[in-house]
Structure 1
């Protein structure tokens, strides 16, 4: 697998048969997956509509099959259907160059590679990969690094490390491990859902460290560092991070984009005020997860529906509560 050519802003996969949209700094949305409320079959028309709505709000890219996308509830065929539907919807709406990331995690190296290959064939530009963890008590000190390196060696698309300890058996990759992995030419970045901004800062600094030991920030790094939720968007950017991959952007994409824009413009006081609103809204999403976020979307956007079982359907009282918890953020979003 050859190195990425960031200066050309394009990348051809190993097979040489498709030019991939590059991963670039910005706001990425780990999209919700939608289902028929009666049959729980995929609602691909809403998947497509939602993707276009987010793109039109100005986000940088989309991520399917994350935690908010209920990846663990989907078959492999359904995963491919969602990727194809999302890519086609974006292309048809004129967003041909928008990066599309797909969650490709599995418990074995072999299955993860297979999912990366399937994601590529369905139209994804890069893969989001959790740390394999089912047998983590039997791992050696090198197992995690070897896992990501082996997947990256074989994947036809770049991979982004998904550091999310609560769903990875408590495994939390430290900065030394991430810096080591960042040197692989087919590992494009990390999503820091661990929320550790100190760790993120150390990894960012390593990307700019020149061979002479001096810090070089004259060019964009080939390994991008993303905050894992909207509640620390501004903190991520201040620390040198490249943006976020945050689920709250399903409900408030323009607000997330606005925080980044204000930061880039040097309007820090306004950026901080916007971040405060975003953080309060994201706390409701963090507490209620995809169940509450879908309910809030139904109340405020007119679509959203329910998660697949065994996730519960919110009661009438819970639906009213979720609508109220997100009201401030939705009002701000609608003012933009």
Structure 2
């Protein structure tokens, strides 16, 4: 749902466990333990959680091709405290729609508006909701990018402690003009993070969210050789780059390449080029529009793999038109559209603006065709 190059952009440190990474445990019992919040913290809500140890979160959940959703973060109206009930219900709604995995703290999850403790709580709430609803097998990706290598590693460790399986990492960009030639600094950054992270890394290439920094296919292919870097999300919309990365990583796997469980997952970053990504050798999408229309996104991929190309193309056209509304409105427009059609969504956290009544009507209308398609599936 992040803007492509042809669309304008829409308008306390937690350190517990940073120096100690507990070993992975292959158990499946869901559990939730958040020690960062006091019982009567204003961040707490009516969504209940157990106080057992967090080891139950950590089972093997491989990345497989399909639809991954960067989930929205929901807030209580008026206070802007986390709305954990809605966060949990939304995660289960998406899982029941047939998506492959979820991602917290992505661009649509307003990670930049959350504290470390809140980010952990959102992830842990999502993991527990999935487990309790019978989706303990579903992988959970967590956005972990930060401007320093140190804090990025901290986010990765905290994501693991909260139940995350993979870390989605945006490259740092604030001092991009001081980076080494040919992205040497970016390569060193991802290597250092991957070396230290307790969970595998997915590269997040989103120039719109990284001050225009756009990783080349050469850099991504080189980084894919690291054993703890297992995928890339390409929100740049460059299908040529996607093709080069997919082909190179598939060739590197050789005879061991398994299309149902690739060693390196190549994902489109927006739903409006789902089919193009599949044709170019990609494995699916990690796209914000699936918050609104998960079944439609899943169905495009199903039809494509069944060889029903004309039907897939017809759905892709509707999804692309709906995604243009999402791209123009960003997280504000997406939440407004969800509120209009589904009765929940609310507002983004300040300083993002609340939509005017005119904007709310326009965004609802912009999603009409897509929502009607979704309801028909």
Q: TM-score when scaled to structure 1?
A: 0.93
SS at match of 1:120: helix
Deviation >6 Å, runs of 4+: none
CA-CA distance at 1:225 after TM superposition: 0.4
Residues 126 and 159 in structure 1, CA contact (< 8 A), matched pair in contact too:
yes
Unaligned runs of 5+ in 1: 1-12
State yes or no: 1:219 paired with 2:227.
no
Task: Summarize the Cα distance change of 1:119–1:304 in structure 2 as closer, same or farther, 3 Å threshold.
Answer: same
Q: Which residue of 1 aligns with 2:240?
A: 198
State yes or no: 1:166 paired with 2:174.
no
Task: Summarize the Cα distance change of 1:319–1:164 in structure 2 as closer, same or farther, 3 Å threshold.
Answer: same
CA-CA distance at 1:217 after TM superposition: 8.1
Write the distance in 1 (CA, Å) between the matches of 2:252 and 2:322: 39
Residues 268 and 274 in structure 2, CA contact (< 8 A), matched pair in contact too:
yes
CA-CA distance at 1:106 after TM superposition: 0.5
Residues 208 and 217 in structure 1, CA contact (< 8 A), matched pair in contact too:
no
* Pick aligned residue for 2:116 from 72, 76, 90: 76
Write the distance in 1 (CA, Å) between the matches of 2:251 and 2:357: 54
Q: Which residue of 1 aligns with 2:168?
A: 128
Task: Summarize the Cα distance change of 1:66–1:210 in structure 2 as closer, same or farther, 3 Å threshold.
Answer: closer
State yes or no: 1:314 paired with 2:355.
yes
Moved more, 313-322 or 276-285: 313-322
Write the distance in 1 (CA, Å) between the matches of 2:84 and 2:24: 30
* Pick aligned residue for 1:16 from 8, 13, 24: 24
SS at match of 1:284: helix
SS at match of 1:203: helix
State yes or no: 1:244 paired with 2:285.
yes
* Pick aligned residue for 1:60 from 88, 91, 100: 100
Write the distance in 2 (CA, Å) between the matches of 1:269 and 1:245: 23
Task: Summarize the Cα distance change of 1:22–1:217 in structure 2 as closer, same or farther, 3 Å threshold.
Answer: closer
Q: Deviations over 1:117-167 (max 9, x none)?
A: 000000000000001111111111310001001000000000100000111
Write the distance in 2 (CA, Å) between the matches of 1:42 and 1:62: 18
CA-CA distance at 1:69 after TM superposition: 0.5
Residues 234 and 242 in structure 2, CA contact (< 8 A), matched pair in contact too:
yes
Task: Summarize the Cα distance change of 1:102–1:42 in structure 2 as closer, same or farther, 3 Å threshold.
Answer: same
* Pick aligned residue for 2:225 from 180, 183, 190: 183
CA-CA distance at 1:15 after TM superposition: 2.7
Q: Deviations over 1:168-206 (max 9, x none)?
A: 121100000000000100001000000000000000010
SS at match of 1:53: helix
Write the distance in 2 (CA, Å) between the matches of 1:59 and 1:286: 21
Write the distance in 2 (CA, Å) between the matches of 1:231 and 1:216: 32
Q: Deviations over 1:219-258 (max 9, x none)?
A: 2331110000000001111111010000000000000000
Unaligned runs of 5+ in 2: 1-20, 26-57
SS at match of 2:154: helix
Q: Which residue of 2 aligns with 1:267?
A: 308
Residues 44 and 85 in structure 1, CA contact (< 8 A), matched pair in contact too:
yes
Residues 210 and 216 in structure 1, CA contact (< 8 A), matched pair in contact too:
no
SS at match of 2:290: helix
CA RMSD in angstroms, aligned pairs only: 1.4
Q: Which residue of 2 aligns with 1:88?
A: 128
Write the distance in 2 (CA, Å) between the matches of 1:180 and 1:138: 21
Residues 175 and 202 in structure 1, CA contact (< 8 A), matched pair in contact too:
yes
Residues 257 and 263 in structure 2, CA contact (< 8 A), matched pair in contact too:
no
Write the distance in 2 (CA, Å) between the matches of 1:164 and 1:269: 30
Q: Which residue of 2 aligns with 1:151?
A: 193
Aligned residues: 321
Moved more, 253-262 or 130-139: 130-139
Q: Which residue of 1 aligns with 2:15?
A: none
Write the distance in 2 (CA, Å) between the matches of 1:19 and 1:42: 27
Q: TM-score when scaled to structure 2?
A: 0.83
